[in-house]
């Protein structure tokens, strides 16, 4: 067997209502000054109220940095780092979607460090020791609570990643109660995002291993079995919890067997047109899977039998059944299924393709090489 390493979050707590009992989970971390990283949407939904009261009742000082926005730019992260230093935070808590969790990771990494944000872009450039970190997702999609990755928007329309095991938190809290109020379109897009994580981890050209494979398959099984339920029955707490666990498992998988072409082509859509990350992935999934079919047929066929255990037929037939299922799923869930629906036209494809080629960190993981002409053709197919 080829040797491999596997890294993940030290402690994962699956407990309904755990966010409102956060003080008990951080009791052993010797925290005196907690800085919570979140966004205005989460605050407006009242998801912080019980958690903040619980921390304050435990005689721990707490403050909130709530400037996070979707696809957070460098300025948001840097102001958060300054806030952590000014507050002398000794613990960072991230509460929200992937943008809040990624921002919290970077604030914990750099809040007590001599390095700047510019110093840590890339793989394993981060040094030293981060502040204690707790991540609490409010969507079942990114899996950010178990990945050593944080994405930042740099300049006007480019994204860069910080990749380091130092970004893995001390605790990930999976509290399904926080996801009950999610709108259907967010539930659908983030759920498909998690499915993309599982699929791309299972077909990754680099670092794919037996542990990531097992996690990816179990993630896809949970996500496929529950995504339509949570979109039809938003208050179904068990289905919500299953989605959170599925997203977490997919995150653990792709944190070790990294994602590829779907993400590489999705990032420019988010950066240039401000389309949410999960939806960007959903929009590119069908075209990239069909493109990858010559190199990933057997893996897609195996995943098809995870979704449909009794499915018969050749490897190609089963692989195509999976691709068609995912295409139909997006339509059934009522999210956009074409680039035109999010304001992208043929005149934009060259810029998108050129930006996608900058995602070398992701493209090298794709089972089939994608060149500039391929990228443009994939965007055109997705119009």
Query: In this predicted structure, what is the pLDDT of residue 1?
Result: 60
Q: What mean pLDDT is predicted for residues 248-257? A: 97
Is residue 77 located within the same domain as residue 198? no
Residue in 18, 63, 57, 27 with CA at minimum distance from that of residue 43: 63
Residue that finishes a domain, picked among 131, 150, 178:
178
Which CATH number goes with the domain that contains 31? 3.40.50.1970
Identify whether residues 190 and 223 lie together within a single domain: yes
Where would I find the H helices in 34-97?
Answer: 40-44, 49-57, 74-87
pLDDT for the residue 28: 85
Q: What is the mean pLDDT of residues 276-301?
A: 96
Q: Does 159 share its domain with 133?
A: yes
Is 335 a member of any domain? yes
Provide the mean pLDDT of the chain.
95
Model-level pTM? 0.94
Domain CATH code at residue 306 = 1.20.1090.10
**Host domain of residue 79:** 11-178
Residue 263 lies in a domain: yes
pLDDT over 80 at 278, yes or no: yes
- 230 and 146 in a common domain: no
The mean pLDDT of 234-245, rounded to a whole number, is 97
Q: Give percent above pLDDT 70 in the chain.
A: 100
Kindly tell me if the per-residue pLDDT of 27 is higher than 90.
no
pLDDT digits (tens, 9 = 90+) for 88-119: 999 999 999 999 999 999 999 999 899 999 99
For 322, the 3-state DSSP assignment is: helix
- 57 pLDDT higher than 70: yes
- Asked if the model's pLDDT at residue 19 lies above 70, the reply is yes
Same domain, 220 and 130: no
167, 173 Cβ separation under 8 angstroms: no
Q: How do residues 121-179 score in pLDDT, each as one tens digit?
A: 998 999 989 999 999 999 998 999 999 999 998 877 778 889 999 999 999 999 999 99
Please state, in angstroms and rounded to a whole number, the distance separating the CA atoms of residues 201 and 185.
Answer: 24
What is the rounded distance in angstroms from the CA atom of residue 14 to the CA atom of residue 25?
A: 12
Most confident of 4-8, 44-48, 259-263: 259-263
What average pLDDT score do residues 370-381 get? 98
Residue at which a domain ends, from 139, 154, 178: 178
Domain-located, residue 246: yes
Beta bridge partners of 38: none
Record the tokens describing residue 106, joined without a space.
Answer: 């970077």
Same domain, 188 and 264: yes
**Residue 181 banded pLDDT, cuts 50, 70, 90:** confident
At 46, the pLDDT band (50, 70, 90 cuts) reads very high
Among the listed residues 274, 54, 60, the one whose alpha carbon sits nearest the alpha carbon of residue 159: 274
Q: State how far Cα 220 lies from the chain centre.
A: 15
> Are the beta carbons of 173 and 244 closer than 8 angstroms?
no
Q: Which of 12-21, 148-157, 267-276 has the lowest average pLDDT? A: 148-157
């Amino acid at each position: 067997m080829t040797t491999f390493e596997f890294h993940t979050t030290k402690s994962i707590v699956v407990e309904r209502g755990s966010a409102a009992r956060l003080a008990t989970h951080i009791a052993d971390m010797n925290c005196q000054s907690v800085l919570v990283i979140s966004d205005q949407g989460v605050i407006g939904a009242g998801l912080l109220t019980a958690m903040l009261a619980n921390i304050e009742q435990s005689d721990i000082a707490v403050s909130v940095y709530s400037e996070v926005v979707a696809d957070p730019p460098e300025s948001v992260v840097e102001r958060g780092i300054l806030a952590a230093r000014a507050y002398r935070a000794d613990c960072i808590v991230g509460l929200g979607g992937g943008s809040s969790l990624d921002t919290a990771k970077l604030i914990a990494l750099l809040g007590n460090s001599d390095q700047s944000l510019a110093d840590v872009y890339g793989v394993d450039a981060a040094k030293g020791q981060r502040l204690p970190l707790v991540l609490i997702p409010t969507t079942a999609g990114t899996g950010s609570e178990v990945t050593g990755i944080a994405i930042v928007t740099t300049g006007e329309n480019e994204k860069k990643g910080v990749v380091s095991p130092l970004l893995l938190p001390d605790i990930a809290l999976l509290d399904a109660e926080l996801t009950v109020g999610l709108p259907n379109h967010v539930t659908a897009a983030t759920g498909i995002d998690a499915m993309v994580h599982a699929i791309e981890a299972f077909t990754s050209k680099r670092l794919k291993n037996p542990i990531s494979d097992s996690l990816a398959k179990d993630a896809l099984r949970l996500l496929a079995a529950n995504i339509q339920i949570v979109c039809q029955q938003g208050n179904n707490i068990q289905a919500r919890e299953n989605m959170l666990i599925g997203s977490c498992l997919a995150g653990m998988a792709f944190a070790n067997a990294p994602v590829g072409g779907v993400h590489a082509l999705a990032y420019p859509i988010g950066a240039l047109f401000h389309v949410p990350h999960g939806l960007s992935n959903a929009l590119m999934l069908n075209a990239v899977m069909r493109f990858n079919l010559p190199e990933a047929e057997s893996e897609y066929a195996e995943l098809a039998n995870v979704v449909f255990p009794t499915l018969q037929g050749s490897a190609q037939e089963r692989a195509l059944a999976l691709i068609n299922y995912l295409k139909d799923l997006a339509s059934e869930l009522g999210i956009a299924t074409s680039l035109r629906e999010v304001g992208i036209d043929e005149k934009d494809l060259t810029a998108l393709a050129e930006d996608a080629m900058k995602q070398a960190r992701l493209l090298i993981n794709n089972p089939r090489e994608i060149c500039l002409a391929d990228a443009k053709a994939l965007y055109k197919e997705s119009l």
